[in-house]
A and B are shown apart, each in its own frame.
Chain A
Amino acid sequence: GQQVMQIPQYQHVQEGEDFTTYCNSSTTLSNIQWYKQRPGGHPVFLIQLVKSGEVKKQKRLTFQFGEAKKNSSLHITATQTTDVGTYFCASISGGSNYKLTFGKGTLLTVNP
């Protein structure tokens, strides 16, 4: 089945530093979604990318979808302690059920 590989598994930064997590797939993805899960919480949808080369921004977060639609990245500029959590990429598989396949996630910790 469709798989998305996500790196790094962990990232610890000083507050104010930038952070990037990457997702890669061996197959072309129809779309990529990004979620954030705070410690002890549940995943919260951040964004969906569907177009080749698409770039979307949400304040300090920048999301990119590769030209070949096989990779994606989430970049956070000037991290804050509120950014702490696990960031997951996910892709919807084909068919009518809209199943999500999640990457393993990147746990971001921020030192104040």
Chain B
Amino acid sequence: GAVVSQHPSWVICKSGTSVKIECRSLDFQATTMFWYRQFPKQSLMLMATSNEGSKATYEQGVEKDKFLINHASLTLSTLTVTSAHPEDSSFYICSARDPTAYNEQFFGPGTRLTVL
């Protein structure tokens, strides 16, 4: 199957700093990428849908000014957690839709963010 990479795999930062997470589709072009957040022992919650060349669509309750998403190319989307606080600590996972693989989404390995 298609491969999606995510970087970094984990990050620890101080409260108030910003953290950027990259999501790349390695062997296909992804017009649409998705960002999820997963708390321990919970399900994945969709944060936003990222479309190449346009503004991201955020889910209800997700602050767009806090979670900045940029989908600058067909293979790269970035999520920046601005002014991170301890409550932002979570597992952030991206996925990418391969338009040639009907409806299948390929998930990145995730980024574990810990805010001290």
A98 with B105: CB separation less than 8 A: yes
Please choose the segment from A37-45, A54-62, A72-80 that sits at the chain B interface, where 4 or more of its residues have CB less than 8 A away.
Answer: A37-45
A31 at the interface (CB under 8 A from B): yes
Q: How many residues of A contact B (CB 8 A)?
A: 21
A12 at the interface (CB under 8 A from B): no
A101 with B105: CB separation less than 8 A: no
Contact of B46 among A33, A41, A101, A107 (CB under 8 A): A101
Chain B residue nearest to A96 (CB atoms) is B32
Contact of A48 among B34, B41, B44, B104 (CB under 8 A): B104
Contact of B103 among A42, A92, A103 (CB under 8 A): A92
A68 at the interface (CB under 8 A from B): no
B34 with A43: CB separation less than 8 A: no
A102 with B49: CB separation less than 8 A: no
B1 with A45: CB separation less than 8 A: yes
- Minimum Cβ distance to chain A for residue B90 (Å): 14
Chain A residue nearest to B99 (CB atoms) is A98
- Minimum Cβ distance to chain B for residue A13 (Å): 18
Q: Which B residues lie within 8 Å of A97 (CB)?
A: 32, 49, 51, 57
User: Do A43 and B107 contact each other (CB < 8 Å), given the known contacts A88-B44, A98-B97?
Assistant: yes
User: Do A42 and B105 contact each other (CB < 8 Å), given the known contacts A88-B43, A97-B32?
Assistant: no
B8 at the interface (CB under 8 A from A): no
Q: Which B residues lie within 8 Å of A102 (CB)?
A: 43-46
Q: Which A residues lie within 8 Å of B45 (CB)?
A: 102
How many angstroms between the C-alpha atoms of A101 and B36 in the bound complex? Answer: 11
Contact of A98 among B103, B109, B110 (CB under 8 A): B103
9 new A-B contacts, CB < 8 A, other than A33-B103, A35-B107, A42-B93, are: A41-B110, A45-B106, A45-B107, A48-B103, A99-B34, A99-B49, A102-B43, A104-B42, A107-B41
Residues of A that sit less than 8 Å from B by CB: 31, 33, 35, 41-45, 48, 88, 92, 97-105, 107
Residues of B that sit less than 8 Å from A by CB: 1, 32, 34, 41-46, 49, 51, 57, 93, 95, 97, 102-110
